[in-house]
C-alpha cells in the first residue's frame, strides 16, 4: 500500500499535461494544484509531481498505477503515445511476474519509468 509518492519535474507544465492524459483512463485526475506541486488520485492525492527544487543529476524512478482492467491499460498506452511518451514495453502479459500480469511501461517527460498494470485474469 502506498500513501503517496512524488516526482520532481524539469518542466512541470509538460509533466502535468502527460499525467492529465495518462491517468484519466485509470480513473485518476488532478485533485490539488499548488502551482509548484500537483496532486493526482481518485479519492485522495496519492501521486504528486512538483518543480525540480533539490538534488543533482537524475536517477530513474518507477511507479506502477493500478488499472481496473486490461482495456484501461490499453487506453493508458494510447494516451501515453498521444502525449509523446517513449514506449518501453507495449501492453502485454508478463508471465515472468505472474500469469495474469498485464502491463505497459512508458517514460514520462522526465525519463521516469511509468507503468499501468492489471492483475485480473481478463
Alpha-carbon gap, residue 49 to 63, rounded angstroms: 12
> Residue 122 has what pLDDT?
77
| Blockwise average pLDDT, block size 10, the chain, 122 residues | 87 97 97 97 95 82 95 98 97 96 96 95 84
Q: C-alpha grid cell for residue 27?
A: 480513473
CATH of 5-52+60-118, one of 3.30.465.10, 1.10.287.110, 3.30.499.10, 3.10.180.10: 3.10.180.10
> Residue 91 has what pLDDT?
98
> Residue 1 has what pLDDT?
61
Q: C-alpha grid cell for residue 30?
A: 488532478
> Residue 71 has what pLDDT?
97
> Residue 78 has what pLDDT?
98
Amino acid at each position: 500500500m502506498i500513501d503517496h509518492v512524488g516526482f520532481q519535474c524539469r518542466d512541470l507544465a509538460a509533466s502535468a499535461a502527460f499525467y492529465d492524459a495518462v491517468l484519466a483512463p485509470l480513473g485518476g485526475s488532478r485533485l490539488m494544484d499548488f502551482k509548484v506541486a500537483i496532486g493526482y488520485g481518485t479519492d485522495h492525492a496519492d501521486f504528486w509531481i512538483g518543480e525540480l527544487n533539490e538534488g543533482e543529476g537524475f536517477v530513474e524512478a518507477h511507479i506502477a498505477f493500478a488499472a481496473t482492467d486490461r482495456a484501461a491499460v490499453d487506453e493508458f498506452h494510447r494516451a501515453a503515445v498521444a502525449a509523446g511518451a517513449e514506449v518501453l514495453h507495449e501492453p502485454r502479459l508478463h508471465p515472468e511476474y505472474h500469469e495474469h500480469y498485464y502491463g505497459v511501461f512508458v517514460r514520462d517527460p522526465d525519463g521516469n519509468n511509468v507503468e499501468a498494470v492489471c492483475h485480473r485474469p481478463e
